[in-house]
Amino acid sequence: MRFDPALAAQAAFNESEVDLGMDWDTAVALEDTFSSNAGATAREAYEGLLALAERYPNAHAFHAFCIYITWQQVTEETIAHHFETGLRLSESYLASHEGKNPRDIECVTELHGSFRAGLGLEEQDELQVEYKRDTPKGGD
């Protein structure tokens, strides 16, 4: 990756306060629980953060945060469910770029490819394979 998802998550979370309004304190408590625990406790906090995101469809920074922490879930527990969740969240996020931070769009686009690859959806067709095989490697 060309960026650190944990740092991107922290930045996106900090940008979320205005969009979450009265639920900001809830988000802070859930994020604190998520980031300072493991196992079932962290998973419950993660699910709470995703549920909170559903209530705020226009909280773009918070949605980016949820995608970043979904990647953290993938790295902690590499199961299809996390890849599927990440794919769903990133596709929804990337459906429109209006009002979103360009850096988050770039990072989420990269994660989207990683979620797809983790599910085996990045299979190449014959033309792509031939192109890569014929492309010179290294210098001129």
- Average pLDDT (7-23) is 97
**Domain assignment of residue 83, yes or no:** yes
Structure tokens at 39: 């196992």
List the domain range (segments joined by +) for residue 127.
5-134
Backbone φ and ψ for 136, nearest 5 degrees, come out as -60, 140
The predicted pLDDT at position 125 comes to 46
User: What's the number of domains the chain is made of?
Assistant: 1
Q: From CA 131, how far away is CA 45, in angstroms rounded?
A: 45
pLDDT in tens, 48-106: 999 999 999 999 999 999 999 999 999 988 899 999 999 999 999 999 999 999 999 99
Q: From CA 37, how far away is CA 58, in angstroms rounded?
A: 28
**Domain assignment of residue 15, yes or no:** yes
**Domain assignment of residue 139, yes or no:** no
pLDDT in tens, 118-133: 998 875 545 555 655 6
